[in-house]
Chains A and B, each alone.
Chain A
Amino acid sequence: KAGVTQTPRYLIKTRGQQVTLSCSPISGHRSVSWYQQTPGQGLQFLFEYFSETQRNKGNFPGRFSGRQFSNSRSEMNVSTLELGDSALYLCASRDRTANYGYTFGSGTRLTVV
């Protein structure tokens, strides 16, 4: 089974620009979640999608948005980038209930300059 694939792995953007990150979950996993990870704040939940519907949302500004397609692939978008958005963005998919845990992708390292 292929793992969770995130693209791109690395990205450098300028303040004020927007960015789109992509995630392909494990085949058969319908739930996809996004997290932001920084050294100071740890792993922060952004949102979860299940069958193309956003089920849960973390405490992030509206500049952060996402969507899920019918094949369960997901994208997240950050508009009007700020320096503080520099982080490792992780996508995770899961099967059935949360007790089975997440499978994470390798992440997208976003640097805003």
Chain B
Amino acid sequence: TQLLEQSPQFLSIQEGENLTVYCNSSSVFSSLQWYRQEPGEGPVLLVTVVTGGEVKKLKRLTFQFGDARKDSSLHITAAQPGDTGLYLCAGTNTGNQFYFGTGTSLTVIP
């Protein structure tokens, strides 16, 4: 089983603060994806990273794939209430199988 552990599990911060969410595994993945899910809706794909060491930026969100392709981080700068949601990482292997992380529930307080 290719487990993905996310930390922290819950995060509650004030608007304007910075935060980092981690996604760790002992397995190597072909790609790593991050999704955000709002209550009552399905997850929405934010980004896919495929190369070890790759960094991608999406406005105030910065995603990094570890050099060994076993871990990833998501950094949010100056968090806003609209960033509130469940953040999920997912690793894929060469067999096109997905392995979802345990999730990080983020609440940004205005």
Contact = CB atoms under 8 A, between A and B. Distances in A.
Contact of B33 (A42, A45, A101, A109): A101
Interface stretch (B14-22, B40-48, B53-61, B69-77): B40-48
B24 interface: no
A1 to B, nearest CB: 14
Interface of B: 30-31, 33, 35, 40-45, 48, 50, 88, 90, 92-93, 96-98, 100, 102-103
Nearest to B96: A98
A104 B40 CA distance: 12
A33 B35 CA distance: 16
A56 B98 CA distance: 11
Contacts of B45: 101-103
A101 B102 CA distance: 18
Nearest to B46: A101
14 contacts: A35-B100, A42-B100, A43-B43, A92-B42, A98-B30, A98-B92, A98-B93, A98-B98, A99-B50, A101-B45, A102-B45, A103-B45, A106-B40, A106-B42
B100 A56 contact: no
